[in-house]
Amino acid sequence: MCGILAVLGCADSSLVKRSRIIELSRRLQHRGPDWSGLHCFQDCYLAHQRLAIIDPTSGDQPLYNEDKSIVVTVNGEIYNHEELRAKLKSHQFRTGSDCEVIAHLYEEYGEDFVDMLDGMFSFVLLDTRDKSFIAARDAIGITPLYMGWGLDGSVWFASEMKALSDDCERFISFLPGHIYSSKKGGLRRWYNPPWFSECTPSTPYDSLALREAFEKAVVKRLMTDVPFGVLLSGGLDSSLVAAVALRHLAKAKVARQWGSQLHTFCIGLKGSPDLKAAREVADYLGTFHHEFQYTVQEGIDALAEVIYHIETYDVTTIRASTPMFLMSRKIKSLGVKMVLSGEGSDEIFGGYLYFHKAPNKEEFHSETCRKIKALHLYDCLRANKATSAWGVEARVPFLDKQFIDIAMDIDPEWKMIRRDLGRIEKWVLRNAFDDDQNPYLPKHILYRQKEQFSDGVGYGWIDGLKDHANEHVSDAMLMNANFVYPENTPTTKEAYYYRSIFERFFPKNAARSTVPGGPSVACSTAKAVEWDAAWSKNPDPSGRAALGVHAAAYQEAPEKTLATENSSSLDGRPQKLQDAMVEATATATAL
């Protein structure tokens, strides 16, 4: 990843302004430790902090078209840049950077080229010919982007809030899949896939088509000139990423430079379930596996930094970000600059526990759509910022545009969890990679139900966080929480603790509004709370009772063929159950 900051039309072209922008841009230096650049055109500034993944020697930014009349600062990877270059025969390219194509596409097609880009990106493009500009963010919001307005009439864009929060009167999270045009003066959605309308699709499930789409998504993401690896928690999603990456690595260009040995990385407290599960998968695949163990104290010591980097006070996100943040530092210290990661699968296929309660396929499908639309506020935010904090780039093949189109086009009947038919969560995905001839993964791993991330790193983690928060937050403080924090009021001491740290770094109203809130049960959207009368009726904000009912429902059903592993694990570990429920409290979506 890189870090971008653009200030447009600030009516100030002084040296003082320039050094202020350099100073602000430095707040994004962790995202791009390799080099920085600033292009100044009158009162417009485009700054860039670069992490060099493609063309490390010449691709410093900002980037230009031939006559330098178009300037662009980009955070992203354009996987189809070679194909796009081929379409722009009359254009002369200055660098080998994948992002340069953006300047030339704009020159050729105007504002409408964004959907031609296959990849993840946030960019600001300045057309000096008429001093207009556009800014855009990738379809799902894998890369972060914020937009702000100054009292001087300036428009600001930044990869992270910390670069603009002090200088803007108001700012927002830039909507994924949107483009802002200074000429048209507003945000417009450029991403219009069929699933966006939330209509229920009817294409029958084709396991091979799904498999092929995912393989393509992974192969694209092997485009790199620097060493890379795979984040492997041992669960289904990360194991599939590792299995597919391994299968295609030998043929990739990167293997010629850095060898065909695949590196995998896992983090956990000593003896944690993830470490064990990942080790098993790594052994099966024969990867070069790196295990990182951290202590609860190390995690707690990092919390303030995590919140500063991730820019959220969402409890689940912070819990899950911390181990990922620590691991990223270790990964980077090994010289690895890019990792593939498994985010997005749970949203696309309805992998969360509460999907067991989906009343029908229409509801199931709409909920997956809502979850994907909210990804940029949760898992994308975490995956990107936790890694970027240390100059590591995370790529997420499950959120490939084509893969999403195929996965979201499947008749959701097939995604429904049907214990009677032997279909557990994400069955369509598991089944797609169930290849008896040439197995991607052993069956027991392919059909294994895994801990959620924060749990998998070790049960002591969440307990440790709660204990720590209890030491900092008194009952009296929590009682006044609704007065102190009327918006998204924290309902647990842990949430209160995170919130107080967040407010210290980002004290503005606008900052607090970038973080989602609202009711949720175990990661559901607010809408899905309606699925179970007990959930919505339950006034306990922790949703504890509601989820208890849910778990118990399975306990009464003895058909062990189904998701019983889930229920028994919940019953067997009451502490863990509580954790899942507390997660429910602070998690929700803005939709």
Partner 1 sequence: MCGILAVLGCSDESQAKRVRVLELSRRLKHRGPDWSGLHQYGDCYLAHQRLAIIDPASGDQPLYNEDKTIVVTVNGEIYNHEELRKRLPDHKFRTGSDCEVIAHLYEEHGEGFVDMLDGIFSFVLLDTRDNSFIAARDAIGITPLYIGWGLDGSVWISSEMKGLNDDCEHFEVFPPGHLFSSKGGIYRRWYNPPWYSEAIPSVPYDPLVLREAFEKAVIKRLMTDVPFGVLLSGGLDSSLVAAVTSRHLAGTKAAEQWGTQLHSFCVGLEGSPDLKAAKEVAAYLGTVHHEFHFTVQDGIDAIEDVIYHIETYDVTTIRASTPMFLMSRKIKALGVKMVISGEGSDELFGGYLYFHKAPNKEEFHRETCRKVKALHQYDCLRANKATSAWGLEARVPFLDKAFIDVAMSIDPEWKMIKPDLGRIEKWVLRKAFDDEENPYLPKHILYRQKEQFSDGVGYSWIDGLKAHAAEHVSGKMMQNAKHIYPHNTPTTKEAYYYRMIFERFFPQNSARLTVPGGPSVACSTAKAIEWDAQWSENLDPSGRAALGVHVSAYDPAAVPSSLTTGTGAAMLVNKKQRVMEAKAPELTISS
Q: CA–CA separation, 263 vs 343, rounded Å?
A: 18
Q: Which stretch binds partner 1 (CB under 8 A): 33-41, 155-163, 190-198, 353-361?
A: 33-41
Minimum CB separation of residue 298 from partner 1 in Å reads: 8
x/- letters, 218..247, toward partner 1 (CB under 8 A): --------xx--------------------
Q: Is 293 helix (H, G, I), strand (E, B) or coil?
A: strand
Catalytic, 2? Answer yes
Residue 472 in the binding site for partner 1 (CB under 8 A): yes
Find tokens 């139900």 and name the residue. Answer: 449
The DSSP code sequence of 230-277 is EE--SSHHHHHHHHHHHHHHTTSHHHHHH-SPPEEEEEESTT-HHHHH
Minimum CB separation of residue 34 from partner 1 in Å reads: 4
Residue 26 in the binding site for partner 1 (CB under 8 A): yes
Residue 134 in the binding site for partner 1 (CB under 8 A): no
Which of 22, 534 has the CB closer to partner 1? Answer: 22
Residue 463 in the binding site for partner 1 (CB under 8 A): no
Known binding residue 341? Answer is: yes
Q: Whats the size of the chain, residue-wise?
A: 591
**Can you list the pairs that 539-543 forms with residues at least 24 positions away whose Cβ atoms lie under 8 Å?**
541/491, 541/585, 542/491, 542/492, 542/581, 542/582, 542/584, 542/585, 543/581, 543/584, 543/585
Could you say which of 171, 390, 498, 554 contacts partner 1 (CB under 8 A)? 390
Residue 156 in the binding site for partner 1 (CB under 8 A): no
Q: Which helix (H) or strand (E) holds 27?
A: none
Residue 58 in the binding site for partner 1 (CB under 8 A): no
Minimum CB separation of residue 301 from partner 1 in Å reads: 5
Q: Which stretch binds partner 1 (CB under 8 A): 30-38, 237-245, 280-288, 450-458?
A: 30-38
Minimum CB separation of residue 309 from partner 1 in Å reads: 11
Residue 206 in the binding site for partner 1 (CB under 8 A): no
**368 to 200, 309, 375, 528: CA distances (angstroms):** 11, 28, 10, 10
Residue 19 in the binding site for partner 1 (CB under 8 A): yes
Minimum CB separation of residue 476 from partner 1 in Å reads: 18
Q: Where does 66-192 have alpha helices with state H?
A: 81-87, 101-109
Active-site pick, 2, 168, 369, 380 = 2
Buried residues in 343-373 as b, exposed as e (16+ CB within 10 A) = bbbbbbbbbbbbbbbbeebebbbbbbbbbbb
Residue 250 in the binding site for partner 1 (CB under 8 A): no
Residue 467 in the binding site for partner 1 (CB under 8 A): no
Q: CA–CA separation, 554 vs 424, rounded Å?
A: 13
Size of the site for partner 1 (CB under 8 A): 27
Which of 227, 460 has the CB closer to partner 1? Answer: 227
x/- letters, 281..320, toward partner 1 (CB under 8 A): --------------------x--xx---------------
Which of 2, 529 has the CB closer to partner 1? Answer: 2
Known binding residue 98? Answer is: yes
**514 to 162, 263, 502, 517, 590: CA distances (angstroms):** 12, 35, 12, 10, 9
Residue 34 in the binding site for partner 1 (CB under 8 A): yes
The answer to whether the peptide bond before residue 62 is cis (omega within 30 degrees of 0) is: yes
The residues in 310-369 that bind partner 1, with binding defined as CB under 8 A, are: 329-330, 332-335
Could you say which of 3, 6, 13, 15 contacts partner 1 (CB under 8 A)? 15
Q: CA–CA separation, 363 vs 124, rounded Å?
A: 37
Could you say which of 12, 18, 94, 187 contacts partner 1 (CB under 8 A)? 18
Closest alpha carbon to 231 in 241, 244, 246: 241
Minimum CB separation of residue 475 from partner 1 in Å reads: 18
Residue 471 in the binding site for partner 1 (CB under 8 A): yes
Known binding residue 267? Answer is: yes
Q: CA–CA separation, 478 vs 490, rounded Å?
A: 8
User: In the numeric block, which tokens belong to residue 323?
Assistant: 């181990």
Q: Which stretch binds partner 1 (CB under 8 A): 17-25, 195-203, 215-223, 278-286?
A: 17-25
For the chain, the helix, strand and coil percentages under 3-state DSSP, each to the nearest 5: 45, 15, 35
Residue 149 in the binding site for partner 1 (CB under 8 A): no
Buried residues in 12-36 as b, exposed as e (16+ CB within 10 A) = beeeebeebbeebbebbebbbbbeb
Closest alpha carbon to 555 in 571, 544, 578, 543: 571
Minimum CB separation of residue 99 from partner 1 in Å reads: 17
Residue 67 in the binding site for partner 1 (CB under 8 A): no
Q: What are the two backbone dihedrals, phi and then psi, of residue 348, each rounded to the nearest 5 degrees?
A: -70, -40
Instruction: Count the neighbouring beta carbons within 10 Å of the beta carbon of residue 76.
Output: 23
- Whether residue 2 contacts residue 59, with contact meaning beta carbons closer than 8 Å, is answered with no
Which of 470, 568 has the CB closer to partner 1? Answer: 470
Closest alpha carbon to 277 in 430, 452, 464, 465: 452
Known binding residue 134? Answer is: no
Could you say which of 56, 193, 439, 464 contacts partner 1 (CB under 8 A)? 56
Q: CA–CA separation, 62 vs 46, rounded Å?
A: 7
Which of 56, 460 has the CB closer to partner 1? Answer: 56
Known binding residue 84? Answer is: no
Find tokens 């309660």 and name the residue. Answer: 357
What amino acid positions are annotated as catalytic residues?
A: 2
Site for partner 1, rule CB under 8 A: 15, 18-19, 22-23, 26, 33-36, 38, 52, 56, 226-227, 301, 304-305, 329-330, 332-335, 390, 471-472
> Known binding site for ATP: residues?
231, 267, 341-342
Binding-site positions read 98, 231, 267, 341-342
